[in-house]
Each structure stands twice: as structure tokens, then as C-alpha cells.
A and B are shown apart, each in its own frame.
Chain A
């Protein structure tokens, strides 16, 4: 049996899906966490369960609603489980009234039963069952109550009868239309309603007779029929609610109290900055300095142990080199950063599940709108600091197409967890005492890059002006420790698995290209290796940001396309096949004391920062590029975006190096920079002001413009 799970956004659908299937699909406390359908099997049965994206309606206007509607019409599920947030029954039942027009059996599940008492609400389930004419089951997906009853109900057979929820005039016309539709057609009532609403996607069912029925209906109302239908539905729900729901007045709830702080006019913004700063400072700065040494020591020992064991076993020199200098060095370089990632993932997971995310979106909407984004863009950005791929996909929660595409292009600018090793390596070595500060500065740099590119895109690519922000504000929730543990565990294992697969293979390839010359001789000088020769050909590209023609840095940066942590891994393998990378000395040393080979010893603080800037903001890894292609809807658009990102990253890195190296040489002072910065700000402000005045005089939206 095929069962579809349909319900509003943030109604606990995915939590119920996880309970029923025993899986750990992603949950969160903001509307729109589930963006693609997920399939699982209900425990103890053979029923297939499909979790669809959260929707409020079956209107034709949003991608998610389209996915759900297509699923119902084309995949023909046997049962629809309609999950309802019982703390906001009215809004949730709106979707129910639409689902009940389908010919598919619907089971209504009242979720969050545990919250009802706290909110002083009582619902008469029996009465609701009779009124709706279908199964109604009260559960709590979180506390796992009522689940058995739900599973039992699936195998029962029940027919539902029809509801009359519109006024007599419409009901009458509806049956006229239904009568004129093809006899064998499924979901006739649903289609009839859609025809009255004027839904373009169903116009294929129209006939002259049906048209005349609808035309006869129009003059009876003073608004369009779409509004009439929606109003009628809510009127029906209002009368239903009076029969089944009782509400006691309750005191101001905890969410309102918390919002007095988190949405306070004066301190909301500082709180947000402090929270974000703390997350990155904690994961890169504080934790990093403690854990990295320990793990590096471990890999150093593994390397030495491997070397001696393999030697005693009689392995030849090149095999030992492959294992120790290639595999252990390459994989170890990446695994060093696992503790930092754990902290980062925990922080993101907590942010996602508490409901604070929706507040940040609300807080920043006015700012973001100015640069052509929506407040909701912030959610993909924060998710993207874990991994760009779900972040880019998360951009679907934004209604406006342009804002959505811009967000998808901008999300990879946020340093993701795979870029963290790059930051930690360079910041740790070149800015030893300020590594936390420098890494946090890169996140603020990322914000700057996002604003800059948003402005560029708004000016030349996405010129559409109309946009909206319509979003539910969920209550705060205490995050579930069990879920966070599972979530973090899953993300960390994915990272380790990648180190054991992609990074491992790349390390072997790099080792090969480093150990052999173009004539395939083993054991040549590194400078004669295939990799060095290839790198030399293109290293000029990076000269303006490094001040050096470095084949090593060049080939490493290019490997970031495979996975960003591969940059670090590649540098480790190149830099003399050493394993204790995180200290940096083995990579950046000049060859003395057995530290490094001198390949990367040219790096200074300025070129290090510039190199980080390039790697952080240039084309993301292939995974993220693929996600961008899906969200932008085409290879051509994706390529344009990737080229844009890479050129921007190159320009910024060059600027950083050119300024930074001059400070290092003493030609420029920090004071000079501050003065130049102030002058630039004034110039920008003047230009922006001029632009604004220009826009206002000619724009057609003047009537509603708040600038007026």
C-alpha cells in the first residue's frame, strides 16, 4: 500500500515520518524543512510512506504544492495521512477541506496533542470525526503517543462521505459541473472546484457547458471566484471549530516573552551578531586549538607505525611512500578537523530546531529586501555554513523566483564545513594568536561578498521588483538532544566517509602525479613531477594574489572543485609528504629541520588571507554546483553563476593581497586604510542616494512606495 503524508509546513510531518519509519530524516523548526519527497517503509508493515513537502493549500502557485498535487494525481496513493497541527486547527483544516474533495481516503491526524493542554485547548475528536466523515486520530509525534492507533487504522477499510461546505449556490453549480465531467474521472469534486477557481492547470477539462455554468456564477459575487471559494472554506471551518473546539484563556506564553528579547527593537541585532560570532569563534578558534594537536599526534604515530611495519614486512620503497605520504597524509590532513566540525554541526542543529531561525529571517527581512533578497534567504545561508548542498536546496522556501535564484547563487559564498579546514590551517599558522578572530573575520567577509554580489545581480541580472514575505512564525521549542545527537552523528560520519573515499582516491592520484615525471620515472625531484609541470603552466593565474608562481598552490586550489577540504589534503601531500599538517610548519616550512620542502614557504599573512579568500568564494565543489544547476534550472545559468563566483573571488583575492602585501612592506599603514575606507563609504553613500532618487521618479509603484 502506498501512503502519502501531507500537512502544513512545520506541523511535525517529518517527525511523524521518522517515528513511523524509524529513519532520521531532517527536521527543524522553521516552515519548509522538507523540500523534496522522502520515501520509507512503516515499521512492522509493508506500507510505503512518502513524506511530501509541507503545504498550506493545493493552489497552483508554489513548487511544493505542485509536487504534492502531482503526487496525488499521478502516483495515486491509497491513503493520505493528513497531519494537522492541533494547536492551530483552523488554518490546518483548510488543507483538509481540499484533500477531502479528492477520491482518495484521507486519515486526519491531530498532532501535537501534548501541547493542547498547555495552550488550554480541548478538541472533541468524536464530533470532528462525524463532521468530517473520516478517521480522526489524536497523536503526539514527539512523545510518540497514538502511533499504534494510527497504524491500525491504515489497514481498516472505511469509505468517506461527502461534505457540503459551500453555500447552496456553489454546491448546486458544483454538482452541475461534476455531472458534465467524464464519468470515470477520478477526483471529480476536486476538479470541479478547480474549474470554478479558474485554475489554469485544469482548463483541459473545460467544455462550453461548464464555461456557461461558471460564467453564470460570476455576477453573483463581488469578488473573484477564487476568493469566494477560499472564504467559503474558512466560513465552514469557523462553524466546524465552534462545534468541536473549546479554548480557555491562557497567560502570555513563553514564546511571546522570549520574543520581547530576541525581537527587541534595540538588542535583537546585537544578540544575533553575538550568537553567530560565538558559533564560529567557538568551533574554529577555541575548540580547534585544543583538539587538533591531539589528533595530529595520532596520525603522526599511525604514519610512523605504518612506515616501520611496512618496511619490516618487506614492502618496497614506493609502496611505503604511497601509504604514508599519500594516503595517511592526505586523509589525516582532513580528519584533523573533525572536532571543530562537531561543534559547528551541534550549533547549527540547535539553531535550526529552536525556532530562532524564523526570528532571524524576520529581523533581517527589511535589510535583505534592499539588496534584492528575502529575509528567508538567511535560512539557506545558515544551513549552508554546514554544507552548501542542503542550503542551496533550502532556497526553495522563498516565494519570489528571482530572490530564490539569487539565494541559490549566494549560498556557496558562506564558508561551509569543508572550507573550515582551509580556514583553520591558514589562520592557525599565519595568525597564530588571532586565529579565532581571523576566522570570524572571514565569515564577515562572506557577508560583505554576499551583499556586494547581491547588489551586482540586482542591478544587472534580476531586475524584477515585486516580492513578498509571507511566513508563519513558529513557537520556540526546546531542541531534542536525541535528534541533535543523531543529526550531528550523521553529518560527521558523512564527512569521515568522504575522507575515506573521495579524499583517499584524490590523495592516491596526487601522490602518483607527484612521484612520477612525465616520462613515468619514479622518485624524481618534486619539481620534475607531472603535477609540478602541469601546475607551472597555469600558475600565472594565481600570481597576482600570491606574489609567486606556485604550481603547488595552483593545483591544490583547483582540486577544491572535488571537495573543498581536498585543498588542504593536497597541500599536505605536496608539502613533502608529512602528516602533522594542522601545525602548518610541515606545510609552510622552508625545508630546514625537516619541516616542509619549501614549496609553500613563500606564503605570508597577506597571501595566506588572499588564498583563503579565493578558495572560499570561488566555484564551490561539484556537489554544490550540481545543486545550483537544479535550482537555477539549467546548465547555462549554472555556468554563468560559477564563472561569476570565480571571477569575483579572484578579484577580491588580488585586492586583498595587493593591499596586504603593501602593509607588510610598510608602504601602507592601517590608518591609511581606515581613511581610504571612510572616503569610499562616503562615495558609495552619495552614489546610492543618487540612484535612489532616480528610481523613485519613474517607478510605477510610487503609489505604495514607503519612501514617498
Chain B
């Protein structure tokens, strides 16, 4: 976890895969190197500035079910690992 000190307030930057059920985050960077996966996630609405909530976690702990843009999307931890969010 990185804590960035802004001039006004403190931002908590976290990997999206580290969020717990019920926690929300605002996407600040998408670092996915695989072009196909990145485009797919962009198309599904995971763009910078999007607020996502961890809704459910699969019984075996992976993938994770996110709620965003009033629908639910399941993604594996290994991909969420490469997305940075600001915890809100």
C-alpha cells in the first residue's frame, strides 16, 4: 500500500485485488501489459475514474465479482493485481 500525501488530503492507493468485500475503489491506473486483456477490461467499463465495489468473492477465493456501472463483472485476482485504485 502506498500513501500519497496530496497538498490537501491523504490518498490511499491500493491494488484492486487487495480490496475486501464491500470496499470501494476509484481506478487510478491500469497497468495491464497484455493488450487484449486491457482492451477487454476497458470495453467493460474499467476506465480511469470508474468507481468499483467488491461485491462477492468466489467460494474458492478467486475470481472476484465487482460491481460497477450498475452491473456485475467477475475477474481473476491476477488481473486485478495490475489495477491501482484509490480507496474511497
Contact = CB atoms under 8 A, between A and B. Distances in A.
A226 B42 contact: yes
Contacts of B59: 263-266, 268-269, 363
A263 B57 CA distance: 8
Contacts of A223: 30, 48
Nearest to B30: A227
A259 interface: yes
A223 B32 CA distance: 12
A235 interface: yes
Nearest to A375: B63
A263 B82 contact: no
Contacts of A585: none
Given A263-B56, A362-B58, A363-B60, A470 B39 contact: no
Interface string B58-82: 1111110100011111111111011
Interface residues of B, number: 39
Interface string B26-59: 0000100011111111111101111000011011
Q: Give the one of B35, B74, B77 with max A CB within 10 A.
A: B74
Contact of A472 (B39, B47, B73, B77): B73
B63 A227 contact: no
A470 B74 contact: yes
Contact of A469 (B44, B47, B63): B63
B63 A91 contact: no
B47 A231 contact: yes
Interface in A317-373: 362-363, 365-367, 369
Contact of B42 (A90, A230, A264, A366): A230
A704 B76 CA distance: 12
Contacts of A88: 69-71
B59 to A, nearest CB: 4
Nearest to A119: B70
Contacts of B44: 56, 91, 470, 472
A470 B75 contact: yes
Interface residues of A, number: 45
A366 B74 contact: no
A234 interface: yes
A91 B40 contact: no
B72 A89 contact: no
A657 interface: no
Contacts of B72: 472-473
B28 to A, nearest CB: 12
A461 B70 CA distance: 41
A227 B47 contact: yes
A366 B34 CA distance: 20
B45 A470 contact: no
Contact of B82 (A266, A472, A704): A704
A226 B15 CA distance: 22
A399 B40 contact: yes
A597 interface: no
A230 to B, nearest CB: 4
Contacts of B82: 704
Interface in A63-116: 85, 87-91, 94
Interface in A468-483: 468-473
A472 B48 CA distance: 20
B60 A91 contact: no
A362 B35 CA distance: 24
A269 B34 CA distance: 32
A471 B37 CA distance: 12
A506 B75 CA distance: 49
Given A365-B58, A470-B37, A704-B78, 7 more contacts: A59-B43, A234-B49, A362-B63, A466-B34, A468-B76, A468-B79, A471-B74
Interface of A: 56-57, 59, 61-62, 85, 87-91, 94, 223, 226-227, 230-231, 234-235, 247, 256, 259, 263-266, 268-269, 362-363, 365-367, 369, 375, 399, 466, 468-473, 704, 706
14 contacts: A88-B71, A90-B69, A91-B69, A223-B48, A226-B39, A230-B39, A234-B49, A263-B58, A362-B63, A366-B60, A366-B61, A366-B62, A470-B44, A470-B75
Interface of B: 30, 34-45, 47-50, 55-56, 58-63, 65, 69-79, 81-82
Q: Which 9 A-B pairs have the closest CB atoms?
A: A88-B71, A57-B43, A230-B42, A268-B59, A90-B69, A366-B60, A473-B72, A231-B47, A61-B36
